[in-house]
Copies of this chain bind each other. A is one copy, B any other.
Amino acid sequence: MAERVTIKQVANKLGVSMMTVSRALNNRPNVDEKTKKRVMETAREMGYIQNHIAKSLVQKRTFTVGIVVPEITHSFFPDAIKGMEEVINLAGYQIIFTHSAEDSKKEVAAIETLASKRVDGILISMAESVRDFSIYKQIINMKLPIVFFDRCVHNLGASCVGINDDESSFNITEYLVKKGYSKIAHLAGPTTISIGRERLNGYKRALLNSNIEVKDEYIKIAGLHETGGYEAMKELLSSPSDQLPEAVVCVNDPCAFGAMNAIKEAGLKIPEDIAVVGFTDDIRANLVTPSLTTIKQPAYEIGRKAAEKLIAHIENDSEPVEDIYLATEIVERKSTGI
């Protein structure tokens, strides 16, 4: 990297002190207007660019926040990041982006690097494989604010922004019940992450609420991806034909796409033989055949809200820790036979 112009050089050229230059460039009060103008001009002419690193060192603020996502290509995350970026940028901060690839080790490494880069706060959606929350506790103990989004950990002293998974899952299951289905299966997510547990719970509550027995044979752990959904559905389809489910609640849309493929491969029709619902409203949900009834998750708004909460925590020590749930809605399409 070539030599960069420093405040000192600008000050020397103008025959003033570094402090005067610093004050002028940062638009502080108590600097003569004429001096300010002269400094600004000279700095521009000389190609001066502020050294944020040095500034961060003395101010102990970097105006940078870290983001940790488990999977960037899953459409929820780009949307959420877009929302975050807008809020964070407007507040005058930058984003250090890290990716855990659903790997808890990589997640820990990412968080440690963010801490060493002295970010002012961190937005995390935890990796599937995380079992140990001690890194979160450690970070929170250092008073480095964390806001979880989408995938939450409670009772750790960090805010979380997401949807009410339990309730949303309850709603879409109930929607199926009201449509007249009673043999309803669930392709569940990993029970290690909150969305897996809570969506399963909502599904169970909805059945019990309508006096439908919850059968273990109807619940298969499928994971969050298409292949998992495909495999789990194939397993369900191997049941004796009088015990086949009439409808399936999938933990998310990719899982539902996999399940739909398995159903079609078995020569069954959606929704005539088996109805399917997803969760996310993936960009593809409207395009698959038949189009998928699902829960619309407001990714962009979750991103915005999480970022707003984080900035609030950063700028105000007494900002209360809280869980924020955004509303979801059922998007009716053809996989449940409109």
A75 CB to nearest B CB, Å: 8
A283 CB contacts on chain B under 8 angstroms: 75, 283-284
7 A-B pairs closest in CB distance = A287-B287, A97-B97, A2-B143, A52-B116, A50-B116, A85-B99, A52-B117
A142 CB contacts on chain B under 8 angstroms: 1-2, 4, 47, 49
Q: What are 26 A-B contacts with C-beta separation under 8 Å? A: A1-B61, A2-B141, A47-B138, A47-B142, A49-B112, A49-B142, A52-B116, A52-B118, A53-B56, A53-B57, A53-B117, A54-B57, A64-B117, A73-B75, A73-B79, A78-B78, A81-B97, A85-B97, A85-B98, A85-B99, A95-B97, A283-B284, A284-B284, A284-B287, A287-B288, A289-B289
A287 CB contacts on chain B under 8 angstroms: 284, 287-288
Please list the residues of chain A having a beta carbon within 8 angstroms of any beta carbon in chain B: 1-2, 4, 47, 49-54, 56-57, 60-62, 64, 67, 72-73, 75, 77-79, 81-82, 85, 89, 94-99, 112-113, 115-118, 120, 138, 141-144, 283-284, 287-289
Number of copies: 2
User: B96 and A98: CB pair below 8 A?
Assistant: no
User: B144 and A1: CB pair below 8 A?
Assistant: yes
